[in-house]
Homo-oligomer: A and B are copies of this chain.
Amino acid sequence: MTHHLFVTQGNSDIPRWREAFPLARDCRPAMARAQAGKDDHVWVMSNVDDWGVLVNNLSRRGAIVAVLSYTPDSEEALQALACGARGYAHALSSPESLRQIQLVISNQGIWVLPELMAKVVGSTFRALGGESRVHEDTLAALTARERAVALSVAAGNSNKRVARELDITERTVKAHLGAVFRKLQVRDRMQLILMLSRQPVTEDLERDD
């Protein structure tokens, strides 16, 4: 059968893992390295020494690895994924979350904190030179004129300036801009800028008050 291991550095207590997976065993890095094999599930704390190397080894041997961190950040998440981990989450995730994660990654899925997702994918996309392919897509939904207005606005120009630039009335600029907002589902020029200059945007939309 497959093993199920928690790898911790020292005598740190194992938060709610025990609760999530009663059958699992906790161990030290060396032990994991020795025991884990194909299809085993291994959870590695990001505070163990050389966790990257460990994760790499394990996943290379066919183990299904998830990394848990007390201080999750996108950079570490990327590193974890790059080392072959299939999951990355907060170490204090609830037992339910942990089981959900296990479900996902044991089915060939990837699991990262939702808020990190955007960042990870974003930087990945940029890193691959795919650069502004997205924009072309989002902008593709616009008419030629709307696109021109959107781009100018996204460059930080005021409506008046855009008007002069395109040699139309400020009123017309507003009209086009309104259409852009509708089509791209943003509330104002700020979010337009963010959308076109990319990523963050956390969880805007809806509710301003």
- What residues of chain A have their CB less than 8 Å away from a CB belonging to chain B? 50, 52-53, 56-57, 60-61, 74-75, 78-79, 81-84, 100-101, 103-105, 107-112, 114, 117-118, 120-125, 127-128, 130-131, 133-134, 137-138, 140-141, 155-156, 158, 160-161, 164, 185, 189-191, 193-194, 197-198, 200-205, 208-209
Contacts and interface: CB of A to CB of B under 8 A. Distances in A.
A124 B197 contact: no
Contacts of A107: 100, 103-104, 109
Given A57-B185, A100-B107, 7 more contacts: A75-B131, A79-B133, A103-B107, A121-B124, A155-B203, A161-B209, A197-B200
Contacts of A74: 128
Contacts of A84: 118
Contacts of A164: 209
18 contacts: A53-B141, A78-B125, A82-B124, A82-B130, A82-B134, A103-B103, A103-B107, A120-B124, A124-B124, A124-B127, A155-B194, A155-B201, A155-B203, A156-B190, A156-B203, A164-B209, A190-B193, A193-B193
A205 B124 CA distance: 29
A140 B191 contact: no
Nearest to A82: B125
Contacts of A78: 121, 124-125, 128, 130
Contacts of A111: 108-110
Contacts of A108: 100, 104, 111, 114
A131 B141 contact: no
